[in-house]
Each structure stands twice: as structure tokens, then as C-alpha cells.
A and B are shown apart, each in its own frame.
Chain A
Amino acid sequence: MYFVFPVALAGLIHRWDKNRILEPGITDILGYALAPFLTTLILYYLFLLLPHHSDAFYVSSIVFFFLSIFFLHLPYTKSITGRWLQAISIHKPNPSQTKDLLSVSYAGRNLNLSISKSLLIASVVQIVLSSLYIAQSPLTGHDTLEYAILGKSMGVEKAIYYQQHPYNPSTGFYYVGLHGHSYNLIRTWEFLWGNLFGKPDSDRYFRLLSAYYYLLMFLLGWKLLSQKGIRSLFIWFLLTYLPVGFFAFITNPHVDAYRVCLISISLLLLYHAIDTSNKFIFFLFCIYCGSQAFIHSLGVFIASICFLAFLIFQRESIFMKIKSTLVFVLLFLLMGNIHYLMDVFWGTGWIFKEIKFY
């Protein structure tokens, strides 16, 4: 779950990015970021279309899906793991590896390379230590608990209901949130998995998700700036770690690291989609825009702004722009955002109800 799922998706993206517009390290991060989301997306559709089956049915369906991708793309997945091991283990610079993940373009300069790798290792160690702290701390945040309770109840029901008042008569709990279901389905996924192995109350995967996405955000910036030199990397390191609010993304498990990481990736893909006019990159842009919107309602509006920017700044004919719009809307809805439509018509009313913030 922690290794096969992300690597399988990284291999999939690596295979289809035939023009190599994205560097290998970036495609890796894209795959890692999408894996937990895709787990929840499949679960969402299974609960919606095939509800009330056993825990084993849902778990095995998702595991089978990811394993199939993993083995169908074995040459690519192998290269990913090899690349990571190489990037971490090598300390002497090798000019031929300047394109590889985490290596810096200062091929001949041992000191800079050593410093940058030390910094990188320090960062990863920091995140791992924070993860250990999170792994020992119970969930206490209001919003996170709301998501977790809903996730658990979805795991018990094994179905998703759209109702005006999401009230649980057996406990008295009323879900006051209005966002997409991806984050709470992370807890559902862990609940189903835990049920199979006798640990239904374990929520470590859910809690550690923030640290996981924080690490991906850090690595994404690191990889993009690695050609700019050691000073840029050091400033990036400081900007990522010193502001207390941003660092709290790790120490307080919440939806934010999850959604902000996918928003950042959407922006990167928007940049490349306009810059290169590549269809596969546009396809990825639609996928990631849709995914971050299914996590949080704010993402729906940011996705709309991103696509508006695409329409304005992409130099295409009107016909092509209409075609792009249709593709975007279709993929956007497919990435779970059909939830918002259903919530408006059959559920709580989404943002059209009176919203209370806590």
C-alpha cells in the first residue's frame, strides 16, 4: 500500500509521457501524489455503484487494480526504485546523472552536492521524526475528527448516501462539513484494511498522510530548483520549514497538506500544458485539477480559475478551446466531482446551504 500503489502510478505516468516533457523525478512525485487519491476515488465509486459488500471485496478490488498497473508497467516501476536508491546512496557526483532525481546540476562541485544532499537527508529525517510524533498522538483537531468520523461510518455502512441532513441516529453525530469525500475515504480505506487484519481503530495511515504530502511538496520544489544552485535550495529549505503555519501541516494532521500538494502539482501541469501544448500534459492537468477539487470545495474554485487561465493564455482556435473545455469538464466530473452535483440536488445543498464554520 505504501510502496506498490505510488510506484505503480509513477510507472504509468512515466510510460505515457512519451515526449519526456516532465523530468523523471517529477513524474515520480506525480505518481506518488495521485496514489492515495486514486484509492479513495475507486472506493467512492464502489460504494456508490456496488454498496454493502464485504470489506475483503473492496480491499481486494483496489489492491488488484494497483497490482495490475504495477506489473503491467514493471520495466518503468523498476527504473523508479532504482533511480531513488541511486539518488540517495551516491555521494560522489557523476556528470551523467545530472538529469536524475535529487542530483544537482553542479556536477563537478563536490561540496555543493554534499551540502545539498545533507540538507535533503536532514529534511527527510525531520519529516520522518515528525511522522513518529504524529504516529504517537491521537487525533484531536475538530475538522480532522469530523472527516475521520464520517470515514469510519462510511466504512461501517459501506455505502455513500446523499441526504439533506447527514445525521447518524445511532450516535447523534451530524456531519457539518461540505467538502469532497476524498479525505474521509482515506480513513474509510484504513478502516476496511484494519477490519481485515483486526485493527479497525488504527488511524496511523490517515494521520501520516499530512507528512507524506508535505514531503512530496518539499521534494517537488527541491527537484524544480535543483538546477538553480545550492543557495536556492537552502532558501527553499528555510521557506518550507520555518513558517510555523506551514510546518503545522505536518504536526497537525489535516486535509491541507493533501490538497495543497495536489494544487501545487496542478499549477505545475498548467504551466507545462500552456508552455508545450502537449495533449498528455493537458490530460494530466485535468486529472490533478479534478483530484484536488474532490478533496476540498476551495479546490473547485481554484480548478475553475486554473482552467480559465488555460483558456485565456493557450493559443488555440475557438474550436479547440471548446473541445478542451469538454474534455476538462468530463475528466473533472469523473475525478469524483460529480459528488458536488449530487450533493446540490440530493444532498445537503453544498455551498448553497447556510454554511457554519467551526
Chain B
Amino acid sequence: MKILRSHPFLFFVLFVLAIDSILLYLQTTKSFSSGDVNMVYRRIDTPARFILNGFLGALLNFKFSGILTWLVIPASIYLGFKKKYFNTPAKKAMVFVFILSTLLIGAKGYFNFRYQLTLYPLGSFFLVIALGIFMKDIFTGKEQRKLFLFIVFLLAINNGMFFLLTQQVDKPEKRDKENGFIENLMIKKYAYERAVARNSKLKKDHDHIFKNAINFLNYIDTAGKKLSIRLPILSYAAPGSRILINNLPIVYYQSNIFGVYYWCGDDLFYTSDGPKNLFKNRSIEDAHAYISDSLGCTYVFSTPSYNTYNTSFEKWLLYHAKPIAIDNNEYVLYIIQNAKGNYPIDPMLARKKDIKNITYKEYLINDSLHLIRIK
């Protein structure tokens, strides 16, 4: 307590700063139920969050860069004016680069926390130097250690608060066991909830849903390209079996299937002539006809949090597509109703079967069983 008696004002300031930091932290990391993680980019965030997490995010985005980064500002003022620390051209150049780069990132990279962390190593390094000088100036001996412990305490709060506040949003899997997979998914994904409600059978039998959507795509691909002669499921992957991929490039990386690359957020699909609009200037029925007939898509691969970016796309999914496969990454594979090359398939009945040491999946198609060899 000696330190408190000798420097009461300083301790008071530190205490207030700590409380302020926590309050700001609460303000800037509070989650909304929309499931949209980047509201800053979409410019629909609250003004305070937009400024703190966006334009000033390089210093004040506590969620990602910690609550101490902003100390770079007072530390620079203290060292610059009180100690004349930036007295060489090299040090001045560092300040110049830091300020200009922070302004650039604030103006052009405000929506991406990764950009905001570009100068984090430089800022942290400077902070360590500044804290060292500050401690030597103000404290000696045991007092130094106490201040040091206080800083460590602040850092620990920084990390602890993150986990406490973001647990529900970022770690939904913890609730899996209590609620079941579908229910857990519905907590965050309202669009999907409606889709599931329409398909009551799917909801009822959710335990049998084919969980790994990516693998499911691979089976389709395998059937179409490698086992076309032997298996009647060939018809399933005939020229009509294209997939409309809603901004999930994992399909291209993990399978060889042809996909129409689409991003519902901007309502653009990509062709050899560049991006084109899908729903703009088209009714939902017209868009449905275009997707299934002109683009030749039979499936849609998307994730519920993306669907909410575009109400037309979401409505179309609701009325014209049926979810048939979900996996733990929250990817959902939909089958487009009444599309060309679309055959009724019930993946819920898929089960493994071993024949002569080769594992197959068994599917019900057109009321008859078919086998797909597993890779």
C-alpha cells in the first residue's frame, strides 16, 4: 500500500482506465443475434462501435488486439514531449510510418481486424520500451514490481473478458450435447429454422442426416466421373448436377465438381465474362427458372449466416430448395426443387455397406437402392 500512499493520483488514473477499458470492451464486443460478424464492413453497426472497432480499430479494437494497444498514444505523448525520446531521424521515421500507416488502415482497411493488426508488433514493441522507461522514471524496487503485476493483471483481464463475453457466440458447440445439433443450429440461424420447419420430416429424423456435406459432394462427383459405367447413380450426376456455391470456396478445394460461384451479399455470380447479377431485375420465380434452366444448377451449397445477406436469395431458398445435408461447419447442401437433372434422393437413408472389403454408401433413389463407392 506504500505505492498507493506515495502516488495516489497515478493509481486512481490507472484504476479508472482499467474500468473504462472494461466498459469499452463490453460496448465494442457485445454481440447481436443476427449472426452477421462483420457489421462494420456493411456500415450497419452502431456509431460507437463503427468508430471504435472500425476507423480507430488499429488501436481500440479490444476484442482482437487487446486492451493495452491504445496505450501507444499516451506513451508516445509522454516519451515525445516529456522525455524527448524521438530525438533521432530514425525514431522520427518510425513515428511517421506508424501514424501514416494507421491512418491508411483506418481509412481503407477499417472493416478487417487483420489489417488493423498490421502494425501490432511495432506498437507492442514500442509499448514494452515505453513501459520500461516509465517504470524507471516513476518507481523503484518493490514498487516497480507492483506496477508490473498490475499490468499483468490488466493483460489477464483482457484475455479473460474475451472468453467470457464471446463464448456463446463463438463456441456454440458447447451447447450441442444439451440441445442436439439442429436445435443448436437454430439458436443462431433463423433462416435455417424456417427451412427446417417446412421440412418436418427432416426435423423429425435429424439424427440420420448425412452430416458431412463436403463428403456428400465428393460422392456425387465420384459417381459422375469415375463410377459412371457401373452405377446407376450416374443419372444423378448427369449434366444437370451443377452446384450454386454461395461464397464457400471449400467446394472447389475439396472436390472436382463444377460450381457456379455466387455471392448473395452482392448478388453476383461469376462467369467467364465477369460478375453478373442473379436476383436483381428478376422475380423470385424468374430467378428460379434462370438458376435451374440457364445455369443448370441442381444443388445449392451455402451456410445460413450467409443466406441472411440477401432476402431474395433467402426467400428463394425457402420456397424452392430443400436442405438435404448439413455438417458440423454449418455448411448446408440444398437440392433445388423441380430443377433439370434433379432426381428424388433421400440421403437420410444413406448407410455404410461393405462388399468385398470395399465400403459403399447406400442411397434410395427413385424408390430403389443404389450404391456409391466411398473414396
Q: Check B127 against A239 for contact (C-beta < 8 Å).
A: yes
Against A, the Cβ 8 Å flags (1 = close, 0 = not) of B93-134 are: 110110011001100010111111111111011011101100
- Residue of B whose beta carbon sits closest to that of A166: B270
| A49 at interface by CB-CB < 8 Å | no
Using Cβ atoms and an 8 Å threshold, which residues of chain A touch B155? Answer: 238-239, 242
Against B, the Cβ 8 Å flags (1 = close, 0 = not) of A89-120 are: 00000000000000000000000000000000
| A217 at interface by CB-CB < 8 Å | yes
CA distance A312 to B96 in the complex (A): 10
| A309 at interface by CB-CB < 8 Å | yes
Q: Check A146 against B249 for contact (C-beta < 8 Å).
A: yes
Q: Check A242 against B253 for contact (C-beta < 8 Å).
A: no
Stretch among B3-11, B61-69, B337-345 lining the A interface: B61-69
CA distance A259 to B109 in the complex (A): 15
Question: What number of A-B contacts does a CB cutoff of 8 Å give?
Answer: 199
Given contacts A140-B329, A260-B121, contact A357 B111 (CB under 8 A): yes
Using Cβ atoms and an 8 Å threshold, which residues of chain B touch A20? Answer: none
Closest beta carbon of chain B to A92's beta carbon, Å: 26
Stretch among B198-206, B257-265, B282-290 lining the A interface: B257-265
CA distance A221 to B126 in the complex (A): 10
| A264 at interface by CB-CB < 8 Å | yes
CA distance A357 to B252 in the complex (A): 19
- For chain B, residues 250 to 302, give those with C-beta under 8 angstroms from any C-beta of chain A: 250, 252-254, 256-261, 263, 265-266, 268, 270-275
Contact of B120 among A232, A246, A259, A302 (CB under 8 A): A246
| B33 at interface by CB-CB < 8 Å | no
| B31 at interface by CB-CB < 8 Å | no
Closest beta carbon of chain A to B12's beta carbon, Å: 23
Which range holds the interface residue count of chain A? 35 or more
- For chain B, residues 132 to 157, give those with C-beta under 8 angstroms from any C-beta of chain A: 132, 135, 144, 148, 151-152, 155-156
- For chain A, residues 220 to 239, give those with C-beta under 8 angstroms from any C-beta of chain B: 220-221, 224-225, 228-229, 231-232, 234-236, 238-239
Closest beta carbon of chain B to A293's beta carbon, Å: 13
Closest beta carbon of chain A to B308's beta carbon, Å: 15
| A139 at interface by CB-CB < 8 Å | yes
CA distance A246 to B329 in the complex (A): 23
Given contacts A228-B128, A264-B122, A314-B89, contact A243 B65 (CB under 8 A): yes
Closest beta carbon of chain B to A274's beta carbon, Å: 4
Most buried by B among A243, A246, A310: A243
Using Cβ atoms and an 8 Å threshold, which residues of chain A touch B265? Answer: 358
| B305 at interface by CB-CB < 8 Å | no
Contact of A271 among B93, B135, B268, B275 (CB under 8 A): B93
Stretch among A73-81, A125-133, A168-176, A320-328 lining the B interface: A168-176
Give 19 pairs: A residue, B residue, CB < 8 Å, sorted on A: A140-B329, A142-B248, A173-B252, A228-B128, A228-B132, A239-B66, A239-B155, A243-B64, A244-B64, A245-B63, A256-B114, A274-B89, A274-B93, A275-B88, A301-B101, A302-B118, A308-B96, A309-B97, A358-B247
Seen from chain B, the residues whose Cβ lies within 8 Å of a Cβ on chain A are: 41, 61, 63-66, 68-69, 88-94, 96-97, 100-101, 104-105, 109, 111-122, 124-125, 127-129, 131-132, 135, 144, 148, 151-152, 155-156, 158-159, 162, 242, 245, 247-250, 252-254, 256-261, 263, 265-266, 268, 270-275, 329
Seen from chain A, the residues whose Cβ lies within 8 Å of a Cβ on chain B are: 138-140, 142, 145-146, 148-149, 152, 164-165, 167, 169-174, 176, 217, 220-221, 224-225, 228-229, 231-232, 234-236, 238-240, 242-246, 248-249, 254, 256, 259-261, 263-264, 267, 270-272, 274-275, 298, 301-302, 305-306, 308-310, 312-315, 356-358
